[in-house]
Structure 1
Amino acid sequence: MESLKIYVNGAEYEIPYGSTLEEIAKDYSKKLGKVIIGAKIDNNIIELFRPITKSGEVSFIHLEHQDGMRIYQRGLFFILHAAARKVFRNYTLKILHTIGHGVYCEIRDDGKTIELTEEDVRNIENEMREWVEKDYRFKKNELPKGQAIDLFASVSMVDKVKLLKYRKKKTVKVYEADGHFDYFYGYMPPSTGYLKWFKLVKYDQGFVLLLPIVKGEEITVPDFKPFPKLSSVFLEYSRWLEIMDIDNVGDLNEIIARGERAVTDLIILAEALHEKKIAMISEEIKNRKQVRLVLIAGPSSSGKTTFSKRLMVQLKASGFKPITISLDDYFVDREKTPRDEEGKYDFEALEAIDVELFNKNLVDLFDGKEVELPKFNFVLG
């Protein structure tokens, strides 16, 4: 039988052609005291249960790595979906958004959210833990697209049917464990026995799936800390999607497939919802009477400038005379701009902003003084 050579941290291993890396990973896991959940061969991610067909340099993916946590999370989603289908046979699981160190989920019946009880949530978690205890092996099957669509249609996974309908590739990689099938764009752990660390907590109408935190050799599941304001924003976004009849990516694909008119109508509706919200914010500012400063925060290219201009229009319609002040105009001179680890200019660093000038300008404005605002030249720096 043909053998292959793989190299891990300088050590050479000879393995049979078509064998996997799982046993070697378990040995390294014991030596390092860390959970290994995936691997890279010649810098390409592979699953620990994938047969190896070439020699190469191998590095292992630990749970604490970003790629490792993504693999772990997909595995949890798989068993969560399987557990929810058993507990709520005729209902649909919706994985909605992150909240704290977890993910908020709901159970729905024909699009309507079902109010869960503590017992409901406990039943789902118990079913998930049974999956972990039984340590079912994950299998990856490559199916013709039509066969995969028929498979998901047979178990009423309508979202997967819609998603695969517009897939250009002729084949689909479907994961299976103990008769449960699912489709993920990414990699999975070897078995459900790896998924020991999680917790389900009832929250709002649904529940939160809490994910583990890894610090060295210690793996813990943190207590749930609610973020009601942030959660309300995410839920509002979800309700907007319901208004637009977009429950999943497949729904969006179907709108696009209907042609330019349908896409234009969708954009107009999205803009109307956004404008309505901005008008509500403007009205809230007006009702508060004494508001003198509105702060808008967000990462680069998130739409802060566009949002501020639209809010300014609504405020003018309410009788105000607002002005916008952009932090982009308070960047320090280029030669004073800090650099990151790669030696590139780091415009996200606080030190890239002339905070002293910004604070002085704000204080002067609050004191009723006239201020000449700076204008940063991005070409000259």
Structure 2
Amino acid sequence: MNDNISVYIKNIDKSVTIKRGAKIYDLFQFLSDEDYIASKVNNEVTSLSFTIKINSTVEFLTIKNDFGMEVYRRSLAFLLSKVVSELLPERKLKIGHSLGPGYYFDLFGAALTANDLKLLKNAMNDEISAQKQIFRERISYEEAINYFKKNNREDKIKLLSGLNMSKLSIYRCDNFFELFDGPLASNTKVLKVFDLIQYGNGFILQFPKKSAPDKVAPFIEQKKIFEVYKETKDICKVLKVDNVGSLNEIIINNEIDNHIQIAENLQLKQIIKISDDIFTRREKVRLISIAGPSSSGKTTFSKKISLQLQSLGLKLITISIDNYFIDRDLTPLDDDGKPDYESLDALNLELLNENLSDLLQGKTVKLPIYNFFTGKSSISDREITLNQNEMIVIEGIHCLNDKLTSSINPKEKYKIYISALTQINLDDNNRIPTTDNRLLRRMVRDYKYRGHSAKKTFQMWPSVRNGEEKYIFPFQNNADGYLNTALDYELAVLKQFAEPLLMQIKPFDEEYSEAVRLQKFLSYIISAPTANVPSTSILREFIGGSFFEY
């Protein structure tokens, strides 16, 4: 076998010849000096210590790149875990949800103090100044189990109980090692920009943004969303599931059917709570606006809350915002010169507000209808009148933005924000991003109902996410009611639908790295049957078999 291999370096558009078995960082000699944190080798994200054994295409990543930023965040979480284990070994660190450009952490064992955070931050900076190597190593399954038993890591032991492999990849720095779901930086020296901010009963590990990688992003409090996360934690305590290992135990013990019903009932209680709040405001509220990011379950939620309000004696009229699109050839363009269908200006706001105002004044209105095949809008023959005891329901990405319904008195509106805020982690150190939960929902739904491949869903996802950042998240704190539509068991159900779709994406596809990443974290989860998912579940909007018509 030839000792040399050819590597095409995408960043400099150049092929070079190197020794077989070289490390990715050996290619630095061909590059300009920059803080690279990871690489993509044949479209798969890897650490810089990855060994190259075959002819390959390599792209180096910085934190200005989505993949690079994920490695940066994960690496800082690893470093935080290391210093906690060394300085506060009697305490238990547990990663939580994201809050903007930061991760929330709890540090159990004693009340958190400012001195605790100062101690940890100084230790992290010392580790960074020391430029310590982070090694990726392979150890036996038995060795990993013994290590985690010795260190009382029940979360890791439970997670590994769902796996059946002889060897595991771990990351080590000095004598500390962790099982991390994804590649890390190969040296601490690139992890310079971060902060630890005390918040709630825990703290936030704050990162920079891609657009300004040299400074910590400002902390912007999201009080209402934080409250939703706290409620979610309370639900997890009732269900006794806060990580994948605990969920796997329930499935292995054949207790999942009962667990599904409890989880669904707890979510229904939250919907009833919102319905009751609307009912108490029924003398003033005439318009219910529902918003949330893609695949949060807006359509099913709007139907479920309508049923609840009807059971309280309220009557509802649903108006589809989709029918207020302007003609396709008039749609505003985005920064890339493509039609921006998610822009507020893609809607006929004048007609919408005219219709809503007329309805609230008791007038009869003919509603528009939008033809998605021709891209044209027209006025339908459907006439509606709003009676005194009736409310209007609308749902869409802009429904928390008062510009959408500027003609309506704010006191007459009740705004609801929903999102699938993932309830469980892989373990105490590895979180499951909310966006992954929604991406899997959308992938399954798009294939089942729209004939889209996983590749097409991946290709559309950046545009969807940009739209959310611009048009939804800035207004999420404006809502009157909030609902987390994620169900702690749903990934075990989605797995059987998503895995075959992800396997259709091949190494030569640009989307391969994301497909591999999702496949890897799904591999930790044991599949659950769909039979006992209620027909009224929000999950049915994505997997099929819903009681509701869409």
Task: Tell me the TM-score normalized by structure 2.
Answer: 0.62
Please state if 1:281 is matched with 2:274: yes
Within the alignment, does 1:263 sit opposite 2:256 as a pair?
yes
After superposition, residues 44-123 of structure 1 pair within 5 angstroms as 44-109=44-109, 114-123=110-119
Per-residue CA deviations over 1:248-281 (Å, capped at 9, x if unaligned) read 111111111122xx22222211222212112221
Give the AA of the match of 1:254.
E
Mapped partners of 1:270, 1:366: distance in 2: 38
| Equivalent of residue 181 in structure 1, options 177, 184, 193 | 177
Instruction: Check whether the contact 2:171–2:177 (CA below 8 A) recurs between aligned residues.
Output: yes
Deviation at 1:220, TM superposition (A): 0.8
Counterpart residue number, 1:126: 122
Question: Structure 1 residues 150 and 379 mapped into 2: Cα distance closer, same or farther (>3 Å)?
Answer: farther
2:293 corresponds, among 270, 274, 299, to 299
Aligned partners of 2:138 and 2:268: how far apart in 1?
A: 45
2:167 corresponds to which residue? 171
Structure 1 residues 335 and 58, CA gap change in structure 2 (3 angstroms)? same
Report the alpha carbon displacement of residue 209 of structure 1 after superposing the two structures with TM.
0.5
| Cα distance in 2, alignment partners of residues 130 and 17 from structure 1 | 35
Query: Using a 3 Å threshold, how does the CA distance of structure 1 residues 168 and 84 change in structure 2: closer, same or farther?
Result: same
Q: Structure 1 residue 233 and structure 2 residue 236: aligned?
A: no
Please tell me whether the aligned partners of residues 209 and 217 of structure 2 are also in contact (alpha carbons under 8 angstroms).
yes
Give the secondary-structure state (helix, strand or coil) at the position aligned to 1:68: helix
Task: Count residues in correspondence.
Answer: 371
**Alpha carbons of structure 1 residues 78 and 281: separation in structure 2 relative to 1, 3 Å:** same
Alpha-carbon shift at residue 87 of structure 1 (Å): 3.5
Find the aligned partners of 1:29 and 1:164 in 2 and give their Cα distance: 41
> 1:327 is matched with which residue?
321
329-338 vs 356-365, greater mean Cα deviation = 329-338
**Two-structure CA RMSD over aligned residues (Å):** 2.8
Q: Relative contact order: is structure 1 or structure 2 higher (C-alpha 8 Å, sep ≥ 6)?
A: 2
Provide the secondary structure at the position in 1 that maps to 2:203. Answer: strand
**2:198 paired with 1:197:** no
Contact kept in structure 2, 1:144 and 1:172, CA below 8 Å: yes
Deviation per residue, 1:291-311 (Å, 9 max, x gap)? 222211012332112111222
1:12 Cα offset (Å): 4.3
Amino acid at match of 1:356: E
Shift of the alpha carbon at 1:334? 6.4
Find the aligned partners of 2:359 and 2:32 in 1 and give their Cα distance.
60
Question: Match for 2:218 among 215, 219, 223?
Answer: 223
Q: Would you say 1:17 and 2:12 are equivalent positions?
A: no
The CA distance in 2 between the partners of 1:122 and 1:144, in whole Å, is 37
> In the alignment, residue 20 of structure 1 is paired with which amino acid?
K
Q: Deviations over 1:137-180 (max 9, x none)?
A: 11112223233222222212211111111114332111111111
Q: Is the 8 A contact 2:65 2:210 kept in 1?
A: no
Of residues 126, 131, 153 in structure 1, which corresponds to 2:149? 153
Q: 136, 140, 152: which one pairs with 2:136?
A: 140
Name the CA shift for 1:3/1:201 in 2 (closer, same or farther; >3 Å): same
**Residue in 2 that maps onto 1:309:** 303
Change over 3 Å in CA distance of 1:354–1:267 after alignment to 2: farther
State the 1:70 CA deviation.
Answer: 0.8
Is the 1:75–1:188 Cα contact (8 Å) retained in structure 2?
yes
SS in 1 for 2:366: coil
Q: Which amino acid aligns with 1:16?
A: K
Partner of 2:4: 3
Between the aligned partners of 1:174 and 1:81, the Cα distance in structure 2 is 14
Match of 2:205, SS state, is: strand
Name the CA distance, whole Å, in 1 between partners of 2:144 and 2:256: 28
**Paired residues of 2:49 and 2:136 also in contact (CA < 8 A):** no
Tell which deviates more after alignment, 265-274 or 65-74.
265-274
Secondary structure, aligned partner of 1:189 = coil
Query: Which consecutive residues of structure 1, in runs of 5 or more, have no partner in the other structure?
Result: none
Kept in 2, the 8 Å contact 1:39–1:46? The answer is yes
